[in-house]
Amino acid sequence: MNETTSKTLVCELCEAGCGLQVELSQGAVTAVRGNERDVTSKGFVCPKGLASLALDQDPDRLRTPVQRCADGSFTPISWEQAFDTVAQRLTAIQKAHGRDAVAVYMGTPIVHKHGALLMRAALLSALGTRNATSAGSQDSSPRFAASYFLYGSAFAIPVPDIDRTQFFLCIGANPLVSNGSFLTAPNMRGRLRALQARGGRIVVVDPRRTETAQAADEHVAITPGSDAAFVLAMTQVLLAERRIDEATLERCTRNWLAIRARLRDYTPERVADYTGVPAATIRRLALEFADAQSSAAYARLGVCNHAFGTLGSYAVDLLNLTAGRLGQVGGSLFATPAIDLGRMARLMGSDGYARFRSRVRGLPEIAGDLPAATLAEEMETPGDGQVRAFITYAGNPVLSTPNGQRLARALGKLDFMVSIDFYVNETTRFADIILPPCGPFAEEHVDLFFANAAAHNAIRWTGAAAPRGEDERCDWEIMLELAYRLGGGPSGLRPLDLLLRAARRFGYRYSLQQTVDLALWFGPYRLRGAAVRAAPDGIDLGPLQAGFERRVFHPDGRIELGTPAILSAFAQQAQALAHPRPVDELLLIGRRDLRSNNSWMHNLPKLVSGRARCVLLVHPDDARRAGVRDGEQAWLESKVHCAQVPVQLSDEMRPGVVSLPHGFGHAGIARFQRVAGEHAGVSANDWTDDQEVEAIVGQSILNGVKVRLRAVVPTAARDASS
């Protein structure tokens, strides 16, 4: 007789972190659904969470360590052999060429998995390298920098009080598809419907009429890359109309007068041509924002991924602040997480800006990460500190970083590479050793990173839903073993790790659970780990609290408005206003699909079935000028790349803007990921230039890339043949 049991879990495939209910028979998961008792998601789950079972059962997923053969195939090896090889090769390379000869790239799952995030410092400390970067340097560094400048911590992230606001201004974000980004709020469609049902208003500012824009009350089609100027113009309107409490600003901020003077450059009339938004619209939206009973401005990737990404993120906070919405119920608030990641980061020395820079271009770190745009040049450029070995954790930078084909060529010339990943992908195919973590049901979960950006305070700690295989390891255990073998330990603090290593010889075994217990106990709620573990559906810690003072970490407790970097960005943006883009210029932007926000999800049949998603969206007017037709292949060319793409005509696009989705380009790995190979598509980041970066943090410019579009077969030849 087969006994069926049920366990709770948290989905780790996107920032929403929905609660899952899984059914098991004889220890194996047989079904997945939303957990109706989960305090955060209340039964909501998107297609990605429901596909967790397919991910767990994917025959292409690696389950044992593998080593690359001379012909590019991979053969299984033991964990002991794998760890020995990795430790020996990395140690030898660093001994011969220095600590910085090893670079590290951490993929998106690092912030979804509490164990891996806590072990990040351990691995980096053991390596002693400054060449650390991550997926966050591709889409979040401007947000981190703006927070560091304003509040004194990169991890002080204000989030819109979406459940209580009356006016939601959403800029360069698509939360109906992303389920929120730096806005952990499952079931965004339900939340936005509730906002409208209580008489509220939603305005979406985006070059494309996105899924969120279609559900909004108003869509403003803006020119890519002009978000900072648009938002600063809104703030200028509030200043001109005397809607700003300047006495309060003088009391709670520094350098308001310097910013006040610079806002004069950003009148709606001056930015109208540059942004593509009429001056009257900018003025009306600014006054509606100020006059609403409550309002919150929110921005994400579309604002971060362009030449003024840090200024754009800063400008959104400035608008919330000057309108009196920062720290106000229904405005922009700060979460109070049970585990204060910001304080932990400062304790570990992971919170800062420009404390060191990249070797070749001198690009700055933010929160311990250098820009991923430096990877290829650091591998290719000879000299002291040249990168000769590479470690990736759950990442695919060949697809997710700019000019991916250049990076692929550089990876092929490295002395050694190791990847912690359960797929052979476009990046890990270059690895000498791949160390696969266990599947999605075999590891416990604790809310850590995204609780710092949650729309409602809560804490969940769920255990593993299914037992691990006899020879499987969690990703944090893999990282810890590497840290030990490289001379480090679990804490990432050298003196303490020396003691822990000594204790290990006498039987000491590190406990991740004890670390989390301590973090909870020293958190703001003084929670006991046992009590949190006893509530797998989560503990509701209440709505976001009013006020912002507790999240300002500058010594005098005041928000810093005018750092040199921000003042310089103001001047650069003001100069750019004088040069609107040519009428016939095309700009490429990315987009996200609900079922495939990461490249490794394309190997799951349920997430790639149906219509083709890797198509270039083109406005009919632009297609007519280029001589291309719906459903045809067309040439798309940028400064660094030219290739054919399938075209889909869409009036969702603002004229002059075309869009490709992120994460495709799987033709080269069809033998390793069979489903993904059948839906190969093209990599949008092949068209981006790794030499063009945002000035403050060096982040890649992935939105607003200048491109040209032309027909494969010229119109005249096509017409003649027909």
Residue linked to tokens 């007789």: 1
Separation of alpha carbons 163 and 329, rounded Å = 10
Contact by Cβ (8 Å): 94, 87: no
Judge whether residue 721 has pLDDT over 60.
no
Backbone region of residue 277 per phi and psi (left: phi > 0; alpha: psi in -120 to 50; beta: other values): beta
Positive/negative CA dihedral, 214, 220, 221, 225: negative
Q: Element (H or E) spanning 330, and its range?
A: none
Helix axes 114-127, 494-504, angle to 10 degrees: 100
What is the end-to-end Cα distance of the chain in Å, rounded? 68
Contact by Cβ (8 Å): 673, 637: no
Contact by Cβ (8 Å): 484, 87: no
Task: Parse the chain into domains and list their residue ranges.
Answer: 4-57, 66-139+351-540, 161-328+555-574, 581-721
In this structure, of 25-29, 328-332, 629-633, 715-719, the range with the lowest mean pLDDT score is: 715-719
Contact by Cβ (8 Å): 461, 481: no
Whole-number average pLDDT of the chain: 94
Output the six-digit token pair for 35: 């957990």
Per DSSP, the three-state class of 172 is coil
Tell which wins on pLDDT, 599 or 271. Answer: 271
CATH 2.40.40.20 fits 581-721, yes or no: yes
Contact by Cβ (8 Å): 334, 456: no
Separation of alpha carbons 400 and 386, rounded Å = 22
Q: What are phi and psi of 87, to 5 degrees?
A: -60, -45
Q: Which fold has domain 66-139+351-540?
A: Rossmann fold (3.40.50)
CB-based contacts of 233: which residues, under 8 Å, 6+ apart? 266, 267, 268, 270, 271, 275, 282, 286
Contact by Cβ (8 Å): 162, 171: no
Q: Is 247 exposed, middle or buried, given 0-12, 13-18 or 19+ CB atoms closer than 10 A?
A: exposed
Output the six-digit token pair for 637: 């060319």
Closest CA relative to residue 460, chosen from 533, 538, 531:
538
- Report the percentage of the chain scoring pLDDT > 70: 98
Residues recorded for the chain:
722
* Cβ atoms within 10 Å of 379's Cβ, excluding its own: 22
Q: Is 80 exposed, middle or buried, given 0-12, 13-18 or 19+ CB atoms closer than 10 A?
A: exposed
Closest CA relative to residue 396, chosen from 367, 375, 366, 370:
375
Contact by Cβ (8 Å): 15, 40: no
Look at residue 685 in the predicted model and tell me its pLDDT: 94
CB-based contacts of 176: which residues, under 8 Å, 6+ apart? 188, 189, 192, 210, 211, 212, 215, 594
pLDDT in tens, 431-452: 999 999 999 999 999 999 999 9
Q: Which fold has domain 161-328+555-574?
A: Dimethylsulfoxide Reductase; domain 2 (3.40.228)
* Cβ atoms within 10 Å of 264's Cβ, excluding its own: 12
Separation of alpha carbons 127 and 410, rounded Å = 21
Output the six-digit token pair for 573: 């943006």
pLDDT in tens, 77-131: 999 999 999 999 999 999 999 999 999 999 999 999 999 999 999 999 999 999 9
Separation of alpha carbons 306 and 694, rounded Å = 7
Residue 394 vs residues 109, 113, 160, 321, 425: alpha-carbon distances, Å: 6, 11, 30, 37, 10
Mean pLDDT of 346-370: 93
pLDDT in tens, 277-301: 999 999 999 999 999 999 999 999 9
Output the six-digit token pair for 128: 């002693």
Per DSSP, the three-state class of 261 is helix
Which ranges in 448-491 belong to alpha helices (H)? Answer: 475-485
Separation of alpha carbons 133 and 368, rounded Å = 8
Class at the top of the CATH hierarchy for domain 4-57: mainly beta
DSSP per-residue codes, 387-416:
--EEEEES--HHHHSSSHHHHHHHHTT-SE
Separation of alpha carbons 534 and 514, rounded Å = 15
Separation of alpha carbons 113 and 108, rounded Å = 10
Residue 111 vs residues 118, 324, 449, 714: alpha-carbon distances, Å: 10, 31, 6, 48
Q: Element (H or E) spanning 623, and its range?
A: helix 620-626
Confidence of residue 592 (pLDDT cuts 50, 70, 90): confident
Backbone region of residue 699 per phi and psi (left: phi > 0; alpha: psi in -120 to 50; beta: other values): beta
What pTM did the predictor assign? 0.96
Confidence of residue 719 (pLDDT cuts 50, 70, 90): low
pLDDT in tens, 486-526: 999 998 888 888 888 888 888 888 999 999 999 999 999 99
